[in-house]
Amino acid sequence: MKGKYTTGQTGARSARLRLAALAIILVLMASAAAGCSGEKEESKPQRLILGFSQLGSESAWRIGNTRDIEDKADLYGIGLMLENANQKQENQIDAIRRFIAYKVDVIAFSPIVEEGWDNVLLEAKKAGIPVILVDRDISTETEGLTSCLIGADFYKEGVMAAEYLIRKADSLEKDHVKIVEITGTEDSTPMMQRQAGFMDTLLADERMEVLESVNGDFLKSRGAECMRYLLETYGSEIDVVYSHNDEMTLGALPEIEAAGYVPGKDIIIISIDGGQEAIDVLKSGRINCVVECTPMLGSELMNTAIKLKNGEEVEKVIHPAETYFSDEQDLSAITERSY
Ligand code: GYE
């Protein structure tokens, strides 16, 4: 034991000496390399690091949005720290705290719901890190916790959906239209705004009656469950399904068929997002109208992050241009969708 101990100590000392020698050689090599290229540490442009908390992967929209942000970060040479919160606000708050601890240059996140962000955003503000809202908005007690919002005008989407329905009711000469609504995640911006835009626009039209609104959480499985419940409750009374996203619509359609109705004919189907799968179903006649909501927000996000890092002014709200597709149009003209 004793002998081994002595040998061990000597071994440790020589290992330490070897390490010290190696360190000196590495330092000399590094300074020689810097000398050759003539580069100084301070003059190297720092790569922008963006921390982005995505809320989940519940839909083709969301998956397309994440992919676009990854692609555009690569294209712009921005270091992206991406975290997926799997539909949980607490995971998003934890991710934002990790970004602050890591001292990223800019934080971006797609808030699952509007409330509950004050504390973590005050922490980001204290750390001097600018925050960009992507896709959805928030509601805070303190003003000025975020720099800007890049996302769709969801109210306008609801208005477009209602305007389509009014035109459709006119063309079918209907004097009473009974509607069921399948909404997105409760307290999320798209849920509230898509509902408000739709309802406000229908208010003055006496033919319109909303039988019930049910929460489908933007999920295909919940869309199917909601539709089953609505069919059991209202059966042949239902004239229109207004669904807040394609996923829930795609979940609802087989339920309608299983109950013996033809979607697109017996029941008018209105959806939002405009992903490829829903557009294909629209072309087949089983959906009547799809309001577009683009997830391609990556370029705006990268441009805005660069501006914020450089201390430049940014626009407070950036809404991408959007449209709608419906059975009133020549659908063969719709080009391939990217989500
Ligand atoms: O419509 C839906 C997704 O916030 C705009 O979230 C987004 C919505 C989108 O789950 O499919």
Q: Specify the ligand 1 atom closest to the Cα of 151.
A: 5
**pLDDT tens digits for range 165-199:** 999 999 999 999 999 999 999 999 999 999 999 99
Categorize the per-residue pLDDT at 46 as very low, low, confident or very high, splitting at 50, 70 and 90: confident
Please check the confidence at residue 8 and state whether its pLDDT lies above 50: no
C-alpha 230 – ligand 1 centre gap (Å): 22
**pLDDT tens digits for range 107-131:** 999 999 999 999 999 999 999 999 9
β-sheet bridge partners, residue 53 = 83, 109
C-alpha 296 – ligand 1 centre gap (Å): 12
One-letter-per-residue 3-state SS of the chain: CHHHHHHHHHHHHHHHHHHHHHHHHHHHHHHHHHHHHCCCHHHCCCCCEEEEEECCCCCHHHHHHHHHHHHHHHHHCCEEEEEECCCCHHHHHHHHHHHHHHCCCEEEECCCCCCCCHHHHHHHHHCCCCEEEECCCCCCCCCCCCCEEECCCHHHHHHHHHHHHHHHHHHCCCCCEEEEEEECCCCCHHHHHHHHHHHHHHCCCCCEEEEEEEECCCCHHHHHHHHHHHHHHHHHHCCEEEECCHHHHHHHHHHHHHCCCCECCCEEEEEEECCHHHHHHHHHCCCCEEEECCCCCHHHHHHHHHHHHCCCCCCCEECCCCCEEECCCCHHHCCCCCC
Query: What pLDDT score does 223 carry?
Result: 98
245 lines ligand 1 (CB under 6 A): yes
339 lines ligand 1 (CB under 6 A): no
**pLDDT tens digits for range 204-231:** 999 999 999 999 999 999 999 999 999 9
273 lines ligand 1 (CB under 6 A): yes
61 lines ligand 1 (CB under 6 A): yes
C-alpha 74 – ligand 1 centre gap (Å): 24
**pLDDT tens digits for range 66-101:** 999 999 999 999 999 999 999 999 999 999 999 999
135 lines ligand 1 (CB under 6 A): yes
62 lines ligand 1 (CB under 6 A): yes
Categorize the per-residue pLDDT at 14 as very low, low, confident or very high, splitting at 50, 70 and 90: very low
CB atoms within 10 A of CB 170: 11
249 lines ligand 1 (CB under 6 A): no
58 lines ligand 1 (CB under 6 A): yes
Give the percent of the chain with pLDDT over 90. Answer: 86
292 lines ligand 1 (CB under 6 A): no
217 lines ligand 1 (CB under 6 A): no
Query: What pLDDT score does 43 carry?
Result: 61
C-alpha 112 – ligand 1 centre gap (Å): 10
CB atoms within 10 A of CB 283: 14
C-alpha 130 – ligand 1 centre gap (Å): 24
C-alpha 42 – ligand 1 centre gap (Å): 43
Categorize the per-residue pLDDT at 16 as very low, low, confident or very high, splitting at 50, 70 and 90: very low
C-alpha 163 – ligand 1 centre gap (Å): 21
159 lines ligand 1 (CB under 6 A): no
**pLDDT tens digits for range 227-285:** 999 999 999 999 999 999 999 999 999 999 999 999 999 999 999 999 999 999 999 99
Query: What pLDDT score does 25 carry?
Result: 41
Query: What pLDDT score does 24 carry?
Result: 41
